[in-house]
């Protein structure tokens, strides 16, 4: 009967030895993880700060570009407004009657449009 139990005991001892080795490996892994965790946190923090700095720089560049475009549009609109003002001024001096009727027509059209909204 001992011969039948011996292989089971041998297997149990091997299983116990394997379990002890697994526990020891797990302890080493946890110990290594604890040792490396502060470095991993520091590296992650540095990477996130670097990405945030890049995002801030890109946002600043985009804002500068938008500001430049807005200023150019404002200057262009001012130039076009001056040109229209000059054109109208010259037109009114050269053709005062036509300018008067045009202004009356525009006023009438606006009056019709605005009065239609009130109904």
Q: What is the pLDDT of residues 70-90, one digit of tens each?
A: 999 999 999 999 999 998 888
Residue 25 to residue 70: CA distance in whole angstroms:
64
Residue 86 to residue 108: CA distance in whole angstroms:
24
User: Looking at residue 99, what is its pLDDT?
Assistant: 83
**E strand intervals along 58-119:** none
Instruction: Report pTM.
Output: 0.48
Residue count of the chain: 119
Q: Which of 7-11, 20-24, 32-36, 63-67 has the highest mean pLDDT?
A: 63-67
User: What is the four-CA torsion angle of 66, 72, 73, 75, rounded to 10 degrees?
Assistant: 150
Percent of the chain with pLDDT over 90: 47
Percent of the chain with pLDDT over 70: 94
Res. 98 pLDDT band, cuts 50 70 90: confident
- Find out whether 91 and 99 touch, Cβ atoms under 8 Å: yes
User: Looking at residue 8, what is its pLDDT?
Assistant: 79
Q: What is the DSSP secondary structure assignment for residue 95, as one 8-state letter? A: -
Residues 6+ apart with CB under 8 A from 98: 91
**Based on the structure, what is the number of domains in the chain?**
1
- Segments forming the whole domain that contains residue 16: 2-118
């Amino acid at each position: 009967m001992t011969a039948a139990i011996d292989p089971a005991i041998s297997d149990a001892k091997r299983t116990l030895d394997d379990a002890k080795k697994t526990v020891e490996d797990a302890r080493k892994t946890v110990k290594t993880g604890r040792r490396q965790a502060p470095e991993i946190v520091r590296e992650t923090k540095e990477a996130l700060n670097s990405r945030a700095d890049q995002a801030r720089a890109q946002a600043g560049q985009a804002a500068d570009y938008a500001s430049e475009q807005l200023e150019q549009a404002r200057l262009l609109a001012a130039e076009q407004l001056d040109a229209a003002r000059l054109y109208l001024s010259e037109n009114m001096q050269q053709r005062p009657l036509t300018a008067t009727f045009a202004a009356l027509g525009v006023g009438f059209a606006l009056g019709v449009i605005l009065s239609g909204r009130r109904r």
